[in-house]
A and B are shown apart, each in its own frame.
Chain A
């Protein structure tokens, strides 16, 4: 179902020389990457390097200044709004905050995309929602409101919602950020399970190296708007590139400098408040 495709190859998403800037601040400077079908692809990198922007390109929420993004054979920046919405129905996205609708309960949150897009009889809808909730282990929490959920639970509910329409692709935006170790382990387990059991493709954007190692089949390391390394987890682990080592081993100083760019320290102090 989701694995079948129109273009027939095993590449689901392809970035071709994508450039993007917010105003004058360049975010992406020529990114090329491919995301294979049926695999978990991790995109790693320091905060603020444009990782989430990549997901926004796949979902068509942003347009690149230059370059193209191909998703399942379709050029996303060139899609008309209607086609874009049709494509989005085949994607799920897990936001860092969960982005649950706060005025309805867990059950209704998961039922929301189904109610919006399909007309299912209520008993069928109920079973569908319970199926997904069981998968994330929260069937008993279906009457809770989003405000009553812990961060980890909210993310699991959001995951259930992201997969309720059986998408071909699920995007995870920092799925491990700010979770306790148990919740983190649960999410790691779920991402793998969802990917395998539902035969969908996954993109995980994260800066948590250990978790990415645990789930990814292929990894990209992005820094300063460019892909600086890629490969299987084993290949990246073995890499001797300085930038890769700094990120993977979590060193405070290195190619990514400890100091934000500034004038020389002495000059700054001697100028005596004349900014």
Chain B
């Protein structure tokens, strides 16, 4: 009996948390009009969330592209198919690695920072202070961060892919000696704008939405103590990463499942 109560309690706790997260999201959207009347708030957050994440995204993209190119070349050359190297690098990046890895890195770098920042503002009563100054913290603090994260990740994933292709080109063409014309033309022929690039962008939009939603909610819902904030930060990274991978599977099967 105790076991049932325990399981039931856990399920109820999770569902009520999901409910809170949904109500919270609704309030964030209601508070979103602020970003039109005061775009400076959004711009400031895009800098904090997006621009400061740029370094890790660009470096990671470059290395992932280079590694892909090495491994792809080693496999393809056995079949004499190294002319498809450009295609392979570009498809892997646009369809999967760009959106997914950018989202995972974003969850670790920007998501954790968002949670910690909002959680600490709560723990130090700054959010309560704002409420008492008749400033709605969801409008003033959460909504700009949410929309900034959402918007930034889409751009960051695209940049990740672009830099990755450049890295792949460097290894494939400059180091391993694949012909540059072949590298680019296989890409030009094989990568479809709608099927591949748009799918990738749709994925990064979905990931951006979910990762920033989790990050700002965990911060806002954190237990206002040092331990509570640290747990919330951990939960952000873990839940956001798992959500990204699970959603990627779902989206991939929807987009490419019938091919």
What is A's interface to B at a CB cutoff of 8 Å?
59, 61, 85-86, 88-89, 91-93, 95-97, 99-102, 112-113, 116-117, 158, 161
The reply on B140 being an interface residue by CB < 8 A is: yes
The reply on B136 being an interface residue by CB < 8 A is: yes
Check if A97 sits within 8 Å of B135, measured CB to CB. Answer: no
Q: For A93, what are the chain B residues with a Cβ–Cβ distance below 8 Å?
A: 129, 132
CA distance A158 to B128 in the complex (A): 13
Check if B132 sits within 8 Å of A116, measured CB to CB. Answer: no
- For residue B127, which residue of chain A has the nearest CB? A99
> Quick one: CB contact mask for B124-162 with A, threshold 8 Å, 1 for yes?
111011011111100010000000000000000000000
Check if A97 sits within 8 Å of B125, measured CB to CB. Answer: yes
Q: For B131, what are the chain A residues with a Cβ–Cβ distance below 8 Å?
A: 59, 61, 88
Check if A99 sits within 8 Å of B134, measured CB to CB. Answer: no
Check if B134 sits within 8 Å of A95, measured CB to CB. Answer: no
- For residue A101, which residue of chain B has the nearest CB? B126
> Which residues in window 78-121 of B have CB below 8 A to A?
none
Distance between B7 CB and nearest chain A CB, rounded to angstroms = 22
- For residue B132, which residue of chain A has the nearest CB? A93
> Which residues in window 20-65 of B have CB below 8 A to A?
none
Q: For B135, what are the chain A residues with a Cβ–Cβ distance below 8 Å?
A: 112-113, 116-117
Check if A116 sits within 8 Å of B140, measured CB to CB. Answer: yes
Check if B134 sits within 8 Å of A117, measured CB to CB. Answer: yes
- For residue B136, which residue of chain A has the nearest CB? A85
Q: For B140, what are the chain A residues with a Cβ–Cβ distance below 8 Å?
A: 116
Q: For B132, what are the chain A residues with a Cβ–Cβ distance below 8 Å?
A: 59, 61, 88, 91-93, 95
CA distance A61 to B125 in the complex (A): 13
Q: For A161, what are the chain B residues with a Cβ–Cβ distance below 8 Å?
A: 133
Give the B interface residue count (CB, 8 A): 12
- For residue A56, which residue of chain B has the nearest CB? B128
> Can you name 27 A-B residue pairings with CB atoms under 8 Å?
A59-B132, A61-B131, A85-B136, A86-B134, A88-B131, A88-B133, A89-B134, A91-B132, A95-B125, A95-B128, A95-B129, A95-B132, A96-B125, A99-B124, A99-B129, A100-B129, A101-B126, A102-B124, A102-B126, A112-B133, A113-B133, A113-B134, A116-B135, A116-B140, A117-B134, A117-B135, A161-B133
Residue A61 contacts which of B124, B126, B128 (CB distance < 8 angstroms)?
B128
Distance between B45 CB and nearest chain A CB, rounded to angstroms = 12
CA distance A91 to B128 in the complex (A): 14
Check if A116 sits within 8 Å of B126, measured CB to CB. Answer: no
Check if A88 sits within 8 Å of B134, measured CB to CB. Answer: yes
Q: For B125, what are the chain A residues with a Cβ–Cβ distance below 8 Å?
A: 95-97, 99
CA distance A186 to B126 in the complex (A): 24
CA distance A82 to B125 in the complex (A): 22
Check if A97 sits within 8 Å of B124, measured CB to CB. Answer: yes
Q: For A99, what are the chain B residues with a Cβ–Cβ distance below 8 Å?
A: 124-126, 128-129
Q: For B129, what are the chain A residues with a Cβ–Cβ distance below 8 Å?
A: 93, 95, 99-101, 158
Known: A97-B124, A99-B129, A158-B129. 12 other contacts (CB 8 A): A59-B132, A85-B134, A86-B134, A88-B131, A92-B132, A95-B125, A95-B132, A97-B125, A99-B125, A99-B126, A100-B129, A116-B134
Q: For B128, what are the chain A residues with a Cβ–Cβ distance below 8 Å?
A: 61, 95, 99
- For residue A81, which residue of chain B has the nearest CB? B136
CA distance A59 to B132 in the complex (A): 7
- For residue A158, which residue of chain B has the nearest CB? B129
CA distance A95 to B126 in the complex (A): 9
CA distance A86 to B133 in the complex (A): 10
CA distance A158 to B133 in the complex (A): 11
- For residue B141, which residue of chain A has the nearest CB? A101
CA distance A89 to B124 in the complex (A): 21
Q: For B136, what are the chain A residues with a Cβ–Cβ distance below 8 Å?
A: 85
CA distance A239 to B116 in the complex (A): 50
CA distance A97 to B131 in the complex (A): 15
CA distance A59 to B133 in the complex (A): 10
Check if B133 sits within 8 Å of A116, measured CB to CB. Answer: yes
Distance between A101 CB and nearest chain B CB, rounded to angstroms = 6
Most buried by B among A95, A99, A100, A101: A99
Distance between B39 CB and nearest chain A CB, rounded to angstroms = 15
- For residue A84, which residue of chain B has the nearest CB? B134
CA distance A91 to B124 in the complex (A): 20
Q: For A112, what are the chain B residues with a Cβ–Cβ distance below 8 Å?
A: 133, 135
Distance between B29 CB and nearest chain A CB, rounded to angstroms = 15
- For residue B117, which residue of chain A has the nearest CB? A103
CA distance A161 to B135 in the complex (A): 13
Distance between B47 CB and nearest chain A CB, rounded to angstroms = 13
Distance between A112 CB and nearest chain B CB, rounded to angstroms = 7
Most buried by A among B124, B125, B129, B133: B133
Distance between B27 CB and nearest chain A CB, rounded to angstroms = 10
Distance between B220 CB and nearest chain A CB, rounded to angstroms = 15
Distance between A120 CB and nearest chain B CB, rounded to angstroms = 16
